[in-house]
Amino acid sequence: MNETLVLAEYVARTRFDDLPAEITERAKQLLLDHVGVALLSSRTEWGRIALKYAQEFSAVGECTVYGQSWKSSAQHAALANGLCARGYELDDSYEGGFCHPGAPTIPAALAAVEKRRGSGRDLLVSMAMGYEVMGRISRALGRELNKIHHATGQVGVFGATAAAAKAMDLGAEQITNALGLAGSMASGLMEFTEDPKGTMVKRLYGGWPAQSGVTAAWLAGAGYTGPASIVEGRFGFLRSISSDFQLASVTAGLGEDYQVMHTVFKPYASCRAFHPMVEGIVELREAHGLTVENLERLDVGVRESIMRQQVVYRLESMMAAQYSMPFTAALTLYRDLADPDCYEDDIVSDPAVLATARRIHANLDPEIDAFPRYAARIKAQFKDGRTITVVAYDHRGTEQKPFSNADVVAKFPD
């Protein structure tokens, strides 16, 4: 089977009226969440840099940049919007492949729809196709991807390309070429986890694929060609990125099992792998009286990827703090992590929080590592001698504990 062509043909033939109502409603909910996160991020240092970059190209003022009175070119609006959407650790997340589809996909869809003066229906079906392609390629990669490559940075360009190509009303052959071009634009490494400053590059993993997706779709629409087997080929994306990929996952259930329904909302501005842990600590705090003062030690059973990348105590930035498991666990005892401003920069150097983080210890838990979704086992040792263990599966905003529209709105301050 030519999986690349199957995806391209599906994107080309699917119309808004083909989508079940629950799919378009979920797309609207994801759009609401996406814009809220991007607006929050636009006030950060990295958000302001992205806006300045897009404004440099505002003479070609055809596409919206969130929260701004001016417009920019399609590619530069997509980059700024995607970077801001990825810039606060609150954007949506795909359950099947541990990536964040909204940040690269929605800005590409919006820019292409606006450029063609399309409709809201065009935007929603383009979004749905972007989530579909990105989710399916992401889930096919397996866990090996995250050891070196960042999933959103790598896979995001395929979702963005599919979304932009749909918005441009390209045919199957053109979409196949666009995806072929996108494969050589895929990028995103995990080296930022080795830098105590965290750096800003992880935020770019929403913007760069969005811009690249618009570019790939435009080039293909103009006749530029790319390899027709980019997904499944001998030197294609799956084989170049993962050693345990599952090719059948790319097309299984296509047209019936919609990936937007497997996309979840993030209630906390941290790495989503920590979300069950956060809610487990909240349970220990509220049900068992755990406090900073009476905590002797906290042991957290986690998956292998956290052990490898995120047991970090040396922090020099908000980004590094959001990606640190011990710091996030400690912060949960000081602040409400549902407040998106809980990671403001001054807290990163707070001596009390940093000292508490030293009482947080991670261990590889085989049961947690084998669980198909994020989970954590939290064992609290109290100074009075008590030991209480909580196992937390899933979190608010997942398929198991879904968000309403009101829950999405409540994420953001007035």
User: What does the pLDDT look like over 45-69, one tens digit per residue?
Assistant: 999 999 999 999 888 789 999 999 9
End-to-end CA, the chain? 50
Q: Are 171 and 12 in contact (CB under 8 A)?
A: yes
For residue 75, give the amino acid letter.
Answer: Q
The least confident of 11-25, 207-221, 312-326 is 312-326
What angle separates helix 102-115 from helix 74-86, to the nearest 10 degrees? 150
Q: For residue 344, name the pLDDT band (cuts at 50, 70, 90).
A: confident
Contacts 24+ apart (CB under 8 A), 252-256: 254/6, 254/7, 254/10, 254/132, 254/136, 255/10, 255/14
pTM of the model: 0.96
Q: Say whether pLDDT at 414 is over 80.
A: no
Last-in-domain residue among 237, 264, 291 = 264
Asked, for residue 413, whether it belongs to a domain, the answer is no
Q: Say whether pLDDT at 324 is over 90.
A: yes
Q: Are 83 and 265 in contact (CB under 8 A)?
A: no
Q: Do 296 and 255 share a structural domain?
A: no
Report the alpha-carbon distance of residue 207 to residue 160 in Å, rounded. Answer: 10
Report the alpha-carbon distance of residue 412 to residue 24 in Å, rounded. Answer: 23
User: What does the pLDDT look like over 371-408, one tens digit per residue?
Assistant: 999 999 999 999 999 999 999 999 999 999 999 999 99
Q: Do 321 and 180 share a structural domain?
A: no
Predicted local distance difference test score (pLDDT) of residue 145: 66
Q: Do 299 and 249 share a structural domain?
A: no
Q: Tell which residue, 1, 6, 2, has the closest CA to residue 255.
A: 6
And the tokens for 120?
């809201």
Phi and psi torsions of 404, nearest 5°? -90, 170
Asked, for residue 166, whether it belongs to a domain, the answer is yes
User: What does the pLDDT look like over 94-112, one tens digit per residue?
Assistant: 998 889 999 999 999 999 9
Structural domain range at position 339: 272-395
Last-in-domain residue among 209, 237, 264 = 264
Q: Do 196 and 148 share a structural domain?
A: yes
Q: For residue 180, name the pLDDT band (cuts at 50, 70, 90).
A: very high
Q: Do 174 and 27 share a structural domain?
A: yes
Which residue do the tokens 């989970």 mark? Answer: 375
Report the alpha-carbon distance of residue 380 to residue 388 in Å, rounded. Answer: 5
Predicted local distance difference test score (pLDDT) of residue 31: 99
Q: Do 174 and 246 share a structural domain?
A: yes
Q: Are 274 and 147 in contact (CB under 8 A)?
A: no
Q: Do 299 and 258 share a structural domain?
A: no
Concatenated DSSP letters for 276-311? HHHHHHHHHHHHH---TTTEEEEEEEE-HHHHHHT-
What is the number of other CB atoms lying within 10 angstroms of the CB of residue 180?
A: 25
Rounded to a whole number of angstroms, the CA Rg of the chain reads 21
Please state the domain count of the chain: 2
Q: For residue 278, name the pLDDT band (cuts at 50, 70, 90).
A: very high
Last-in-domain residue among 264, 292, 316 = 264
CB neighbours of 194 closer than 8 A, spacing ≥ 6? none
Asked, for residue 403, whether it belongs to a domain, the answer is no
The secondary structure of residue 149, as a DSSP letter, is B
Asked, for residue 23, whether it belongs to a domain, the answer is yes
Q: Say whether pLDDT at 257 is over 90.
A: yes
In DSSP terms, 382 is beta-bridged to 295
Q: Do 216 and 286 share a structural domain?
A: no
And the tokens for 392?
């937390």
Q: For residue 204, name the pLDDT band (cuts at 50, 70, 90).
A: very high
Taking all residues of the chain, what is their mean pLDDT, rounded to a whole number? 95
E strand intervals along 204-290: 263-264
CA atoms within 13 A on the CB side of 26: 25
CATH classification at residue 158:
1.10.4100.10
With vertex at residue 270, the alpha carbon angle to CA 266 and CA 276, rounded to the nearest 5 degrees, is: 65
The least confident of 55-59, 81-85, 236-240, 370-374 is 55-59
Q: Say whether pLDDT at 321 is over 80.
A: yes
Q: Say whether pLDDT at 215 is over 70.
A: yes
Contacts 24+ apart (CB under 8 A), 250-256: 250/3, 250/6, 250/7, 250/136, 250/137, 250/140, 251/1, 251/3, 251/6, 251/7, 251/136, 254/6, 254/7, 254/10, 254/132, 254/136, 255/10, 255/14
Q: Do 208 and 244 share a structural domain?
A: yes
Asked, for residue 409, whether it belongs to a domain, the answer is no
CATH classification at residue 354:
3.30.1330.120
**Segment 176-202 mean pLDDT:** 92
Report the alpha-carbon distance of residue 20 to residue 108 in Å, rounded. Answer: 23
Q: Say whether pLDDT at 146 is over 70.
A: no
Q: Do 233 and 180 share a structural domain?
A: yes
For residue 311, give the amino acid letter.
Answer: V
Asked, for residue 48, whether it belongs to a domain, the answer is yes
**Segment 108-128 mean pLDDT:** 98
Asked, for residue 410, whether it belongs to a domain, the answer is no
Q: Do 194 and 281 share a structural domain?
A: no
Q: Do 94 and 239 share a structural domain?
A: yes
Asked, for residue 143, whether it belongs to a domain, the answer is yes
CB neighbours of 1 closer than 8 A, spacing ≥ 6? 232, 251
Predicted local distance difference test score (pLDDT) of residue 35: 98
